[in-house]
Amino acid sequence: MRNEEIPNPAVYRLSFYLRQLESFHRGDRHTISSKQLGEALGYSDAQVRKDLAYFGQFGHPGIGYRVDELIHQLKKILGTDKISHVLLVGAGNLGRALLAYKGFVHKGFKIVAIFDADATKVGRKIGDLLVRSDQDIASVVAELQIRVAMLAVPVQAAQAVADQLLAVGIKGILNFAPIALNVPGDVVVQSVDLALQLEQLSFRMTLGDSSPGDESSL
Amino acid sequence: MRNEEIPNPAVYRLSFYLRQLESFHRGDRHTISSKQLGEALGYSDAQVRKDLAYFGQFGHPGIGYRVDELIHQLKKILGTDKISHVLLVGAGNLGRALLAYKGFVHKGFKIVAIFDADATKVGRKIGDLLVRSDQDIASVVAELQIRVAMLAVPVQAAQAVADQLLAVGIKGILNFAPIALNVPGDVVVQSVDLALQLEQLSFRMTLGDSSPGDESSL
DNA sequence: GGATGTGAATGCATTCACAGCA
DNA sequence: TGCTGTGAATGCATTCACATCC
């Protein structure tokens, strides 16, 4: 699994391949060609082959790719072949929606603790989790050995909470606040800015469009 | 505002520029150089200048860019300088979180109707909006002249609901279901796959990283 | 025949470096 | 001097095209 020569867009496409393969799998497709997989997602067959080849030789000449085999490999590459524990900071509307979201579970992510700064929320039960004070982050992270956090707090609080998370050893943050977080180089931030996505949609609707397929998020 | 020669990544960066400029604006910064703006976001100064130059000449040699002026221009370019009406399909956890999300309002998006297929949810009031049956989509869209929809329904229903939306003339969909929607070429789909984002974070944490700055979502 | 994997060729995005303006 | 805007140069990602294998 060599690195540093893998194009960033290819890493995103990996996730799309996996998603599409699982759809094919549900449809009882056993084998798939790069052409078919590409067509379903709006990529060329060469693109698909090259992307996959960055990570190994998964195909069978004359046959294509075995769906279940490739799913397994992609999960391994992406690190979602085993269960990861995740913590969530922010028990507002978004935080609660994230907690209830089934998609994370399917990918092997389990939210094991939820925190909020608001004393009126602390102690409340959401799903089967108790909301804890953000003062407890350090002890919980240490105890449960958590490396990943989701940040669903108001933008004004985001950087401060991120600093807290860094201080206790969190190495990956899925950030929902509309701000460029400042973090050291060994920490990864993946950001989701909902309003920004809508703004992008707006632009692409006003003559801005040109993309050949349908999907975005590249 | 010529098109077709504008790199897609540049369009995304436009939104990041705007977001950062608003932060500088709140900090009472009146003028900003491409170097300063770039540094705040992890881009080179040349990148910033070239991106902005795709859309016009907004800078002042020797001075930089006037913050408020550039904010105004970017909003105009992105189409968020006026208020847009948006409809929301799906009154589940995510749908309710989207309805409550303040970020949309700030960018000029107003959710004016919410729909759900679940009869037990229809008629319930969420915020100051009544959940309506998805049967009513056609009449509401026609009456309110809506062109943009947010799709927050379960993945199994997503394509069918999307087809409904297309049929009544929706031209842009912000899709939260983890599926590549099939739409005609004149319709724009912008997708947000929450679990996919977490998966990407996972990959980038496991030796996968290389990005110079902190932000993602490119 | 039908498909992969991959060097070589192309095309696109970023960076360089500088002319020109305040 | 300080900074923009932009052609030219570079570097990166995608596509082509073909040797190879089932």
Per the prediction, chain A carries an average pLDDT of: 94
- Give the containing element (helix H, strand E) for A110: strand A109-116
Per-residue model confidence (pLDDT) at position B210: 45
Q: Which two tokens stand for residue A180?
A: 């460029």
Q: Is A83 helix (H, G, I), strand (E, B) or coil?
A: coil
Tell me the mean pLDDT in the region A43-71. Answer: 98
Amino acid at B95: G
pLDDT digits (tens, 9 = 90+) for B158-177: 999 999 999 999 999 999 99
Max CA-CA distance within chain A?
62
Give phi and psi for A13, each to the nearest 5.
Answer: -60, -30
Q: Phi and psi (nearest 5°) for B61?
A: -55, 140
A61-74 burial code (b ≥16 CB/10 A, e <16): eeebbbbeebbebb
HSE of A161 in the Cβ direction (CA atoms, 13 Å)?
28
Q: Do A178 and B77 touch (CB under 8 A)?
A: no
pLDDT tens for each residue of B115-150: 999 999 999 999 999 999 999 999 999 999 999 999
Please check whether strand D approaches the CB of A61 to within 7 Å.
yes
* Model confidence pLDDT, tens digit, residues A6-56: 999 999 999 999 999 999 999 999 999 999 999 999 999 999 999 999 999
Give the count of beta carbons closer than 10 Å to the beta carbon of residue A184. 8
Q: Are strands A148-151 and B188-191 parallel, antiparallel or unpaired?
A: unpaired
* A93 vs A70: CA distance, rounded Å: 37
**Pairing, β A188-191 against β A172-175:** parallel
The fraction of chain A above a pLDDT of 70, given in percent, is: 93
Q: Which of A148, A178, A197 sits opposite B19 (nearest CB)?
A: A178
- Residue B5: band (very low, low, confident or very high) from pLDDT cuts 50, 70, 90: confident
The CA distance from B166 to B187, in Å, is 8
A46 in contact with nucleic chain D (CB within 7 A)? yes
| Closest in A4, A79, A172 to B210, CB measured | A4
Q: How many residues comprise chain A?
A: 218
Q: What's the CATH architecture for B84-196?
A: 3-Layer(aba) Sandwich (3.40)
Q: Which residues neighbour B7 within 8 Å (Cβ) at sequence distance 6 or greater?
A: none
Task: Give the distance, in angstroms, between residue B209 CA and nucleotide D20 C1'.
Answer: 34
pLDDT of the residue at A5: 86
Average pLDDT over residues B29-43: 98
Interface test with B, best of A76, A217, A218 (most B CBs within 10 A): A217
Percent of chain B with pLDDT over 90: 92
Q: How far is A52 from chain B (nearest CA, A)?
A: 15
Q: CA-to-CA distance for A121 and A115, rounded, in angstroms? A: 9
Phi and psi angles of residue B60, each rounded to the nearest 5 degrees, phi first:
-125, 110
| Architecture of the structural domain at A8-77 | Orthogonal Bundle (1.10)
A54 CA: nearest nucleotide by C1':
C5
The reply to whether residue A195 touches residue B106, judged by beta carbons under 8 angstroms, is yes
pLDDT, tens digit (0-9, with 9 covering 90-100), for B57-114: 999 999 999 999 999 999 999 999 999 999 999 999 999 999 999 999 999 999 999 9
> For chain B, what are the domain ranges?
8-76, 84-196
Q: Which nucleotide is nearest to B60 (CA to C1')?
A: D4
Contact A209, B190 (CB under 8 A): no
Q: Are the C-beta atoms of residues B137 and B75 closer than 8 Å to each other? A: no
Fold match, B8-76 / B84-196: no
For the domain with range B8-76, which CATH number is right: 1.10.10.10, 3.40.50.970, 1.10.940.10, 3.30.1540.10?
A: 1.10.10.10
> Is the CB of A169 within 7 Å of strand D?
no
Average pLDDT over every residue of A82-107: 97
Closest among B156, B198, B192 to B174, alpha carbons compared:
B192
Which helix (DSSP H) or strand (DSSP E) does residue B29 occupy? none
Q: Which residues are within 8 A (CB) of B82 and not within 5 positions of it... i.e. 6 or more apart? A: B108
pLDDT tens profile A115-171: 999 999 999 999 999 999 999 999 999 999 999 999 999 999 999 999 999 999 999
Count of alpha carbons within 13 angstroms of residue B23, beta-carbon side? 17
Helix (H) or strand (E) holding A129: strand A129-133
Long-range contacts of A29-32 (CB under 8 A, 24+ apart): A29/A67, A30/A66, A30/A67, A30/A68, A31/A63, A31/A64, A31/A65, A31/A66, A31/A67, A32/A64, A32/A65, A32/A67, A32/A70
Average pLDDT value for residue range A61-72: 98
- Contact, B173 vs B189, CB < 8 A? yes
Q: Which nucleotide is nearest to B6 (CA to C1')?
A: C13
